[in-house]
Amino acid sequence: MNTSASPGGDRILPDGVTAAGEGAAAAPREGAVIPAQDPLSPSVPSSSAARRRPAVRAAAGGARLGTAPSPAAATGAATATVTVTPPTAAVASPTAASPDARSAAATAERPPHAAVRPLRRRARLVVATALRFEAMAAGRSGLPSDTIMIRTGMGPERAERAARVVREARPDAVAIIGLSGGLAPGISPGDIVVASEVRDLDGTVVARCASAPLLAGDLRRLGLTVHVGPIVTVAKLATGDERTRLAATGAIAVDMESGPIAAGAGDVPFAAVRVIVDSADQELGRVDLVRRGVVGLRTMRRLGPPIGAWAAAVGTRTVLLAEPRAFCAGVERAIEVVERALQLHGPPVYVRKQIVHNSHVVADLAARGAVFVEELEEVPAGATVVFSAHGVAPAVWDQAGTRELSVIDATCPLVEKVHAEARRFTTRGDTVFLIGHAGHEEVDGTLGESPGRIRLVQSAAEVDSLEVEDPERVAYLMQTTLALDEAAEVVDALRDRFPAIVGPGSADICYATSNRQNAVRRVAQEAQLILVVGSANSANSVRLVQVSERDGAASHLVENVGDVRLDWLDGVETVGISAGASAPPALVEELTEALSGLGRTDVAVRSVGRETVAFHLPKELRRAAAATPSSPASSPSSPSSSSASSASTA
């Protein structure tokens, strides 16, 4: 808790106030513990029975959790009186089920090879809150019924004492939730801040919270506005100049308890989730105090399920990285084309369609001056335009000529190879079947090589209905990003129907697509869950999800770390990660890092070989580079321009 005032705090509410209403119970006293039943205990009482049971008060001097002796008690250290009670309505969750039932349900949904794993003990979650009303809001928030709740009291000194109780709880996961003040511009009252790290007043990092983007993702799916960044813990309320000074350190929120509780958590996964009630430009006045406090507490009452899901995802885990994964040579080249065009011509440089199908790449280039357009009509006459890696139909080249645009062609050479085959087959009079998916830019471009003579075939089921002028003169081609097994099915059907059909001289499905599919299938043999990093419009990324699903692993496409739903990870001990050919490798690193915040994580690579492919830059850029000696494009050390294309994997 750190705000310029204390909504819901002890100063504005009489001591001993208890919450009323459904699911409410008395907020625990400062330093108090509400322990859960051991989730593995065969005699877990029903919550109604638990409610009827009287609380047992331990002697002052330490917490008692189960039968574990308290070090504080042993040393006679003075701590707040600790209340030990059975589970109460304050932490009852309407979604709570017995651990056995949860495990059984989870097992039923898992793929067959995962169903034989032993039942896992549910993580012991400790949730700390500072103030009485924060504790009551947390208690009504839908946290798991076996959550251990600790009320710290306000300020770092009290939180430090409570940290001992946290340690004694032998938690598997610790979270602190409550109200606090925002520091960074753009953070407003009502927003949520999830700590990426917790710092103390002198800037020392007390705890890193690597899983913050995962928790933030679940919170955003509730419709909340969530920021992830450092939280600083201070000794007294930060206002005015002190708030400005703290903001300058890079911290985005300030509180008074997270630091000591994070320290108390030790090595176990830790999360700090704060609801902002005041900010630099919206400090709390007396009029706003209660209103914002009430709004903040209401928001707190929504935090339980995501924090419960976060705790359920905690555990020891292995991450298997598929190799190869992420950027292919064609994508690296296309991105470099735009970067060099920006260097040569200065912004704006127009790009027709997304240069590659990845939102991060597009946003990054847009921030540097690239202007993405859907059609050439949007490009001013005479301007420079880049054609994307997916290629264009000849009609688009004609249109660019009419508008006197200066074109830099970033079409992948392997897409261009398919275009060349299309021209070769149609020139000699063949009917060409293009195996691919309608609406993909690459398919549109290839079909455009000879409209009418090239026909799209999307599945084996369509083959029976195909009619051609001359069954002796037919050929087939493929979109470069198809699934190998699906494409083979269609080719077989075409061969059955048209025995004279001929195919491309070499495989159209490119090396990058094939390698990534083989690698993800290798990982799917061991992993219970496959996460594929890529955008939804990336065909090769979507294919990776499909092929690993067909191999029996639960698989999901994620554009960002925050797209990973925490419940996917519940009970999952081996996660496989791959990334589509248009996805930046850094996103895989971010995802691996976030998973490591959920507990000890061993990372291993499962490789089907290494790629050593590179493509020359387009001639337009090479010519320009030659004419500009200082340009980086002319540098012999330039990685993309230094080697001719060659494709290989083991």
Q: Which residues form the interface with ligand SF4 (CB under 6 A)? A: 328-331, 389, 412, 414-415, 480-481, 510, 512-513, 540, 581
> Could you tell me the smallest distance in angstroms from the CB atom of residue 511 to ligand SF4?
7
> Could you tell me the smallest distance in angstroms from the CB atom of residue 645 to ligand SF4?
10
Nearer to ligand SF4, 110 or 352 (CB): 352
Measured CA to CA, the distance from residue 292 to residue 4 in angstroms comes to: 12
Which of 72, 78, 269, 264 shows the shortest CA–CA distance to 160? Answer: 264
Which of 401, 450, 407, 451 shows the shortest CA–CA distance to 425? Answer: 450
> Could you tell me the smallest distance in angstroms from the CB atom of residue 477 to ligand SF4?
13
Measured CA to CA, the distance from residue 562 to residue 577 in angstroms comes to: 15
> Could you tell me the smallest distance in angstroms from the CB atom of residue 327 to ligand SF4?
8
DSSP 3-state of 87: coil
Residue type, 400: A
In the sheet that 474-478 helps form, which strands lie side by side, from edge to edge?
454-457, 431-435, 474-478
> Could you tell me the smallest distance in angstroms from the CB atom of residue 611 to ligand SF4?
9
Query: Residue 339: enclosing H or E segment and its boundaries?
Result: helix 329-345
> Does the bond joining 348 to the residue before it have cis omega, within 30 degrees of 0?
yes
Nearer to ligand SF4, 8 or 445 (CB): 445
Beta bridge partners of 192: 226, 275
Q: Which two tokens stand for residue 204?
A: 């020392």
Contacts of 152 (CB under 8 A, 6+ apart): 30, 31, 128, 129, 130, 158, 159, 161, 162, 176, 257, 260, 261
Nearest-CB residue for ligand SF4? 330
Nearer to ligand SF4, 83 or 641 (CB): 641
End-to-end Cα separation, the chain, in angstroms: 56
Nearer to ligand SF4, 416 or 593 (CB): 416
CA distances to 205, 324, 417 from 615, rounded to whole Å, are 44, 17, 13
Nearer to ligand SF4, 93 or 513 (CB): 513
DSSP for 126-161, please give it: EEEESSHHHHHHHHTTT--TT-EEEE--SSHHHHHH
> Does the bond joining 94 to the residue before it have cis omega, within 30 degrees of 0?
no
> Could you tell me the smallest distance in angstroms from the CB atom of residue 640 to ligand SF4?
13
Q: Which two tokens stand for residue 489?
A: 């099915």
Q: Which two tokens stand for residue 91?
A: 């932490």
Contacts of 449 (CB under 8 A, 6+ apart): 393, 394, 419, 422, 423, 426
Nearer to ligand SF4, 246 or 477 (CB): 477
Nearer to ligand SF4, 529 or 583 (CB): 583
Q: Which of 421, 442, 449, 611 is catalytic?
A: 442
> Could you tell me the smallest distance in angstroms from the CB atom of residue 513 to ligand SF4?
5
* 219 in Cβ contact with 309 (< 8 Å): no
Nearer to ligand SF4, 158 or 333 (CB): 333
Strands (E), 202-342: 205-208, 226-233, 253-255, 270-278, 317-323
- Cβ-in-10-Å burial (0-12, 13-18, 19+) of 76 comes to exposed
Nearer to ligand SF4, 431 or 517 (CB): 517
Measured CA to CA, the distance from residue 540 to residue 557 in angstroms comes to: 11
* 187 in Cβ contact with 246 (< 8 Å): no
> Could you tell me the smallest distance in angstroms from the CB atom of residue 646 to ligand SF4?
12
Contacts of 248 (CB under 8 A, 6+ apart): none
> Could you tell me the smallest distance in angstroms from the CB atom of residue 163 to ligand SF4?
51
Nearer to ligand SF4, 89 or 539 (CB): 539
30 is annotated as an active-site residue: no
The DSSP call for residue 632 is: G
Q: Which two tokens stand for residue 365?
A: 């280039």
> Could you tell me the smallest distance in angstroms from the CB atom of residue 496 to ligand SF4?
28
What are the catalytic residues?
Answer: 442
